[in-house]
Structure 1
Amino acid sequence: MQISFTGKTALVTGAGSGIGESIATDLARAGARVVVADIDFAKAEVVAERIVKDGGQAQPGTGDVADPAAVEALVAEAVAMGGGLDLLVNNAGIGGPLMPLGEYPLDGWRRVMGVNLDGVFYGMRYAIPEMLKRGKGAIVNMASILGSVGYANAGAYVATKHALLGLTKTAALEYAAKGIRVNAVGPAFIETPLLANLPADVKQALAASHPIGRIGRPEEVSALTLFLLSDQASFINGSYHLVDGGYCAQ
């Protein structure tokens, strides 16, 4: 199955590393013009430069997705790059503190909510009007296995990912008849910078928690994301797709 995004413009947040980097790279390889957005501009710049060096079309963008003005500016950058916006991947996210709810720091709670939930809302809030001008669009919101199950000491993260699924379904219902599809992807533990510094025994334990016996790879999440963004997935809307090595089947 050949997926092509030739002539389309995409915005990917959190694209300076990990899953977002893989998605931005694969979109560009499939012909899309990509705004590689990350709170760390240096990382976004490196990814965008590598895409261009490989023959793709990309430019870096930066901003904190918890800031609505920053997200609005990123959408405007994508529109300026391609004359409109066709694809959005709300991938930026943070883990936040790992503490029981009775001890959870209030500033940590607000920060996780701001990035993981508010940031997704802002992305759709500013991207959807531009997609409506095209008469068509596709959005993927990056959830997690923790959008469907709990995880001790990660209350803020779990809450945002559950809420993200409700937001995804609501947006899908509101805009399906207007040509815009909205879906969510739920990765399990993936080999990203977030896991890179974990002790070896902790990583082994995480790998063992997946029936498939290993941690996932960014490109495995990207492959599903690109399919959901493509016209081949034209009848898939408002749904949640796991990339979890069987984690949630347990």
Structure 2
Amino acid sequence: MASLQLEGRTVVVTGAGQGQGAAEARLLVEAGARVIATDLAAEMPAHLAALSASSPDALAYRQLDVADASGWSDLGGWIESRGWQLDGLVNNAGITQRSRLLDASVADLQRVYEINVAGALLGIQALTPMMGRGSAIVNVGSVAGLTAHYPVAYTASKWALRGLSHVAAMELGPRGIRVNTVHPGFIETAMTASAKPEFRQATLAETPLGRTGSAEEVAGVVLFLLSPLSSFVTGAEIPVDGGQSGHGGAKSVSDAMR
């Protein structure tokens, strides 16, 4: 297998306590990177502790609320105190909120925005000064950011994240820092486990591959975008959704005509 050329690189992953973030942290360690995993919990989650025990020099854990600017500043200072140059940032942390259009409040929008959008902005602002040429940022969006998905607060936040990502790619490009976005579809995580059965069934019906995705399938694309193998890729948006966003709703029409 060809190397992703991630050996010796240092990458921060937010929301690494479970799901996609945990998979990203694990695959990065397996690829030879040093991972700074962050999440809300004060103590390192058990699965990360097990990974750290087997690779003690490859994984560190820091508590972080991505919506807290001072927390990001503290994280940056902690990294600098160790003399590490940062090579990558994965803005994976996110929350959902499933209110429909006529029921959603401004507070709903603000709460989701603070984590899903402002959290990514704060991370970029705090850590970009520590990154050199060849570094990469990956923002984790959603199929909701490519469609008129029904949870309005979550959907609006992921569309906003797309705009942030494009501006960051434009402004950081001259510094040799790439910024890309992945858009997961229905991925088996703790977040999607709370979805109603009807949501799962309807989503599968709209997914050409006919199944849900795994956190590792998202993480694989994230690793590619962090690696030098994607050295001329920036400002890109890659759906990891089994084709759900690619047919523009035509699948339902196609299925009805069979």
TM-score relative to the length of structure 1: 0.91
1:147-179 Cα shifts (integer Å, max 9, x gaps): 111112x11111111111111111111121211
- Number of the residue aligned with 1:205: 202
Give the alignment partner of residue 135 of structure 1, picking from 117, 129, 133: 133
Q: What CA distance in whole angstroms lies between the structure 2 residues aligned with 1:67 and 1:174? A: 23
Q: Deviations over 1:3-40 (max 9, x none)?
A: 13222111000000000000011111111111110112
Shift of 1:105: 2.5
Q: Structure 1 vs Structure 2: percent identity of aligned residues?
A: 37
1:249–1:216 distance in 2 versus 1, CA, 3 Å: same
Q: How does 1:231-242 map to 2 (within 5 A)?
A: 231-242=228-239
> Contact (CA 8 Å) 1:36, 1:47: kept in 2 or not?
no
Aligned to 1:170: 167
Shifted more, 193-202 versus 175-184: the winner is 193-202
CA distance in 2: counterparts of 1:109 and 1:166, whole angstroms: 17
8 Å Cα contact 2:117/2:161 also seen in 1: yes
Aligned residue identity for 2:102 = G
The partner residue of 1:243 within 213, 233, 240 is 240
Count residues in correspondence.
Answer: 245
Q: Which residue of 1 aligns with 2:34?
A: 33
Matched, 1:228 2:225: yes
Following TM superposition, by how much is the alpha carbon of 1:199 offset from its aligned partner in structure 2, in angstroms? 5.1
Trace 1:11-22 onto structure 2 (pairs within 5 A). 11-22=12-23
Unaligned 5+ segments in structure 2 are 248-258
Tell me what 2:177 maps to. 180
Query: How big is each residue's C-alpha offset from its partner over 1:104-142, in whole Å with a ceiling of 9 and x where there is no partner?
Result: 1232221101000000100101111111xx333100000
* Secondary structure in structure 2 of the residue aligned to 1:247: coil
| Contact 1:10-1:78 at 8 Å conserved across structures | no
Amino acid at match of 2:142: S
Query: Distance in 1 between the 2:200 and 2:156 partners?
Result: 24
**Cα distance in 2 between the residues matched to 1:76 and 1:45:** 23
Could you tell me which amino acid in structure 2 is paired with residue 128 of structure 1?
A: T
